[in-house]
A and B are shown apart, each in its own frame.
Chain A
Amino acid sequence: MSVQAGHGQDTNMDERIGSGLKQRTKQALQDEFLRKAVAFTTDKLKNGRLQAMDAFGDWEAWRDRGRAIREHTNSHLDYYLSQFADNVAGNGGHVYFCSGADDAVKTFMGIADRHKAKLVAKGKSMVSEEIHLNHHLEDRGIEAIETDLGEYILQLARETPSHLIIPAIHKNKQQIADLFTDASGQHFEPETKVLAEYARKKLRNYFLEADIGLTGCNFGVAESGSITLVSNEGNGRMVSTLPKVHVVVMGMERLVPTFEDLEVVLNLLARSATGQKLTTYTSILTGARHPEDLDGPEELHVIILDNGRSAQLGDPIFQEVLNCIRCAACLNVCPVYRHVGGHTYGSVYSGPIGAVLTPLLQQDMKEAGTLSYASSLCGACYEACPVKIPLHDMLVHLRHRKVKMKLTSLPERAAFKTFQTVFGSVTLYKLATKSGYYLQKPLVRGGMIKAGPAPLSGWTQSRFMPMMPKQSFRDKWAALQAELAAKKAAREEQR
């Protein structure tokens, strides 16, 4: 059997991140199963997080500490990344610094070529999705197998993840059974236990046979050059233990200075992601195997990727986005994400963090920047974030960037210029609102506006709008003042 990632879809999606957003939203909203599944899962994860927070004592103190550690690390990234890399190399590892996706892909291919690799077993890695590694491996005829159960299901379906933690959040049992049936030639009933058992056996053989194990890195520890991997299934341990070569691809910001700091972020990650006290497996890998070790990889390669990250360093508004620990808590509380799911975003990273990260990493405000509008700015993401990234503020600042780069429509720009003029002076405000009263008249039915031309139609497609009454508050002010004065006088008389 040959399983390879469907890359056609995701690369196409990238080109149309912005202009395809509304169309994808419509599609997602028509998918009843998707909406139910995403709502159910995110609620479950959110509630798990809230319980775990309660049980942990002074959550705010933890958030402050988490934020402080990540902030300190990124503000001194030149020191800590250098320390980390030196320690990896000192432990016999091979470190490659790559400024862009192409560079990282080329580096990986070099390693694969040296080992004449035909099969790569992959642990969960968002960075490998970010650089579309599967697609490049497919082109080279190298089989890459996703070994996280959810990712494996998606690979069979030739789809991309729609959630950071539960990648196949949008797939139901029947769909999974059908995928397994197609892939194996044997018939599967939609029973979780049977499906999981099949996946376990099937994937075990890939772990044993793989030439290379590929993983991401949840946290690198600078003081020791250790790679920390967390997983509930154990696939991260498998791919970093069984194949002779372990390759890590990681974002350059994914560090903490010390083991003491690691304790903080591991606690925050597990509790924020799933509400667990700790993820089942946390592997802290320091170098390749020692001569006296009888298992573990013989070679360790660490590919450190920039790909738009360094452009955020030193930015007073956006540097903090690098503090993200990829827990997906912001996805689980986001009302937009809950309704439309991850694929609507059209990018590897979805939800509020995706809407901020994607335009920044791709340095593309025109298409990717449009994701910043996929938010009502309710701030639930910030409230949930274990390292307090002000995502709601960043979304507004991204919109500002779009405006500054003149990437918004001419009518919109004109409208806000008019807004500035009219609302910047009370004389014009009064004049305009009075004419507004008369202008609305053709639209009013029974005291309400029930339909109207664009952009009002965006409102009226799902809501009525109250009509503007003839008298505004300021028109009534004099009368109100008189009423209060009379009341006051009456009170004083009583006294």
Chain B
Amino acid sequence: MRVSLFITCLSDLLYSEVGESVVRILSDYGCDVDFPEAQTCCGQPAFNSGYQDEAREVARNLIRAFEHSDYVVSPSGSCTGMVHHYYPYLFENEPEWKAKAEALVGKMYEFSQFLVQVLGVTDLGASFPHKVTYHPSCHAMRLLGVKEEPMKLLSCVDSIDFVELPKKEDCCGFGGTFSVKMADMSEAMVCEKAVNVCSTGAEVLVGTDMGCLMNIGGRLNKEGQPVRVMHLAQLLEEGRTSR
């Protein structure tokens, strides 16, 4: 099975190890993973700030980059959600491009969604003997409808001590440009999220979106809290190799 990785700009520039974990896992399950070099960003920062024309041109670049892919997998529910939820709208007045956008939507998956829905895998044979809590990302849950998949994968991990995060469905306050534009609102939200994470006593916070994790992790860092923040792919890969 041919799978193209959409790394997302955030993971490309700041969290390359997340991409590596995704690629290694997919490859272990028989996927022939490639990395279309032309990709950059889904355009969400501009779109969510109201700059739809600017977002459209960035989106066009992404559509082109994956035009010849069979499947596209991304370690972000938010970027995948952007493509699924808004790309067809962005090209509403350009039938040819709208068709291309819809084609991308049809083959694009978030990482956990791809494992569970397409590969049909839930037990990756990982073992992770740590206390772990999980923050479900808003866009994965609400734009993409990915709710059960990450939990299915985590529940199959051996020796994991899983604790539920209080108020887990509350946004962490990232919201892209919201975090700097409405810094005080965002701060109130991320502080509450950090308090909730710490209240679980977990050693590890796992998630499916590096935007949220950068936000919560940045807060935990500033507070000096010894909580390790990981993408689900990293946790699974580490759990497989340590076995």
User: Which of B185, B189, B222 has the most chain A CB within a 10 Å cutoff?
Assistant: B185
Proximity bits, A21-60, B CB within 8 Å = 1, else 0: 0100110010000000000000000000000000000000
Question: A462 touching B191 by the CB < 8 A rule?
Answer: yes
In B16-66, which residues have CB < 8 Å from any A CB?
16, 19-20, 23-24, 27, 33, 35, 37-41, 43, 45-55, 57-58, 60-61, 65
Chain B residues in 8 Å Cβ range of A459: 179-180, 183, 218
- Closest Cβ of chain B to A106, distance in Å, is 37
In B113-170, which residues have CB < 8 Å from any A CB?
138-139, 141-143, 169-170
A416 at the interface (CB under 8 A from B): yes
Question: B171 touching A463 by the CB < 8 A rule?
Answer: no
A114 at the interface (CB under 8 A from B): no
- Closest Cβ of chain B to A362, distance in Å, is 18
The stretch of A128-136, A149-157, A417-425 in contact with B is: A417-425
The residue in chain A whose Cβ has the minimal distance to the Cβ of B65 is: A426
Tell me which of A416, A464, A484 contacts B51 (CB under 8 A). A416
Question: B20 touching A458 by the CB < 8 A rule?
Answer: no
A184 at the interface (CB under 8 A from B): no
Question: A476 touching B16 by the CB < 8 A rule?
Answer: yes
Question: A376 touching B175 by the CB < 8 A rule?
Answer: yes
Question: A464 touching B180 by the CB < 8 A rule?
Answer: no
**A-B residue pair count with CB separations less than 8 angstroms:** 198
B190 at the interface (CB under 8 A from A): yes
A186 at the interface (CB under 8 A from B): no
- Closest Cβ of chain A to B19, distance in Å, is 4
Chain B residues in 8 Å Cβ range of A413: 51
A379 at the interface (CB under 8 A from B): yes
Question: B16 touching A473 by the CB < 8 A rule?
Answer: yes
Tell me which of B9, B49, B186 contacts A423 (CB under 8 A). B9
Question: B215 touching A379 by the CB < 8 A rule?
Answer: no
Chain A residues in 8 Å Cβ range of B173: 335, 376
The residue in chain B whose Cβ has the minimal distance to the Cβ of A400 is: B50
**Measured CA separation A459–B189 after assembly (Å):** 13
Interface size on A, residues (CB 8 A): 66
Question: A374 touching B185 by the CB < 8 A rule?
Answer: yes
- Closest Cβ of chain A to B174, distance in Å, is 7
Proximity bits, A341-384, B CB within 8 Å = 1, else 0: 00000000000000000000000000000000111111110110
**Measured CA separation A399–B46 after assembly (Å):** 10
Chain B residues in 8 Å Cβ range of A75: none
Tell me which of A373, A380, A433 contacts B13 (CB under 8 A). A433
The stretch of A217-225, A228-236, A401-409 in contact with B is: A401-409
Tell me which of A29, A424, A458, A463 contacts B219 (CB under 8 A). A463
Question: A423 touching B40 by the CB < 8 A rule?
Answer: yes
**Measured CA separation A82–B34 after assembly (Å):** 62
Question: B61 touching A473 by the CB < 8 A rule?
Answer: no
Chain A residues in 8 Å Cβ range of B65: 426
Tell me which of A392, A412, A462, A471 contacts B186 (CB under 8 A). A462
B188 at the interface (CB under 8 A from A): yes
**Measured CA separation A403–B54 after assembly (Å):** 11
A137 at the interface (CB under 8 A from B): no
**Measured CA separation A420–B179 after assembly (Å):** 21
Question: A423 touching B222 by the CB < 8 A rule?
Answer: no
**Measured CA separation A466–B48 after assembly (Å):** 23
The residue in chain B whose Cβ has the minimal distance to the Cβ of A466 is: B14
With contacts A376-B175, A378-B175, A477-B35 taken as known, whether A335 is within 8 angstroms of B189 at the C-beta atoms is yes
**Measured CA separation A383–B55 after assembly (Å):** 25
Question: A473 touching B12 by the CB < 8 A rule?
Answer: yes
A339 at the interface (CB under 8 A from B): yes
With contacts A423-B9, A464-B221 taken as known, whether A340 is within 8 angstroms of B48 at the C-beta atoms is no
Chain B residues in 8 Å Cβ range of A473: 7, 11-13, 15-16, 19-20
Question: A396 touching B183 by the CB < 8 A rule?
Answer: no
- Closest Cβ of chain B to A38, distance in Å, is 11
The residue in chain B whose Cβ has the minimal distance to the Cβ of A425 is: B61
Question: B138 touching A25 by the CB < 8 A rule?
Answer: no
With contacts A419-B45, A477-B35 taken as known, whether A377 is within 8 angstroms of B219 at the C-beta atoms is no
The residue in chain A whose Cβ has the minimal distance to the Cβ of B210 is: A466
**Measured CA separation A321–B20 after assembly (Å):** 44
Question: A373 touching B7 by the CB < 8 A rule?
Answer: no
Chain B residues in 8 Å Cβ range of A468: 13-14
Chain A residues in 8 Å Cβ range of B39: 426
Question: B54 touching A416 by the CB < 8 A rule?
Answer: yes
The residue in chain A whose Cβ has the minimal distance to the Cβ of B180 is: A458
The residue in chain A whose Cβ has the minimal distance to the Cβ of B61 is: A424
Question: B191 touching A335 by the CB < 8 A rule?
Answer: no
Chain B residues in 8 Å Cβ range of A412: 49
A469 at the interface (CB under 8 A from B): yes
Question: A424 touching B178 by the CB < 8 A rule?
Answer: no
Chain B residues in 8 Å Cβ range of A465: 214, 218
In B185-224, which residues have CB < 8 Å from any A CB?
185-192, 214-215, 217-219, 221-222
Chain B residues in 8 Å Cβ range of A488: 27
In A465-484, which residues have CB < 8 Å from any B CB?
465-466, 468-469, 471-477, 480, 484
Question: A462 touching B222 by the CB < 8 A rule?
Answer: yes
**Measured CA separation A382–B141 after assembly (Å):** 12
- Closest Cβ of chain A to B165, distance in Å, is 14
B228 at the interface (CB under 8 A from A): no
Question: A374 touching B182 by the CB < 8 A rule?
Answer: yes
Known: A373-B178, A458-B186. 15 other contacts (CB 8 A): A339-B185, A376-B173, A376-B175, A376-B178, A377-B175, A378-B142, A380-B142, A403-B49, A419-B45, A423-B58, A448-B221, A463-B179, A463-B190, A473-B16, A474-B37
A–B complex contacts, Cβ < 8 Å, 8 sampled: A374-B185, A383-B142, A400-B52, A419-B54, A466-B214, A472-B16, A484-B24, A484-B27
Q: Name B's A-contacting residues (CB within 8 A).
A: 7, 9, 11-16, 19-20, 23-24, 27, 33, 35, 37-41, 43, 45-55, 57-58, 60-61, 65, 138-139, 141-143, 169-171, 173-176, 178-192, 214-215, 217-219, 221-222
Q: Name A's B-contacting residues (CB within 8 A).
A: 22, 25-26, 29, 335-336, 339-340, 373-380, 382-383, 392, 396, 398-403, 408, 412-413, 416-417, 419-420, 423-426, 429, 433, 436, 448, 450, 455-459, 461-466, 468-469, 471-477, 480, 484, 487-488
Counting from the closest, the 3 A-B pairs by CB-CB distance are A376-B175, A399-B50, A463-B218
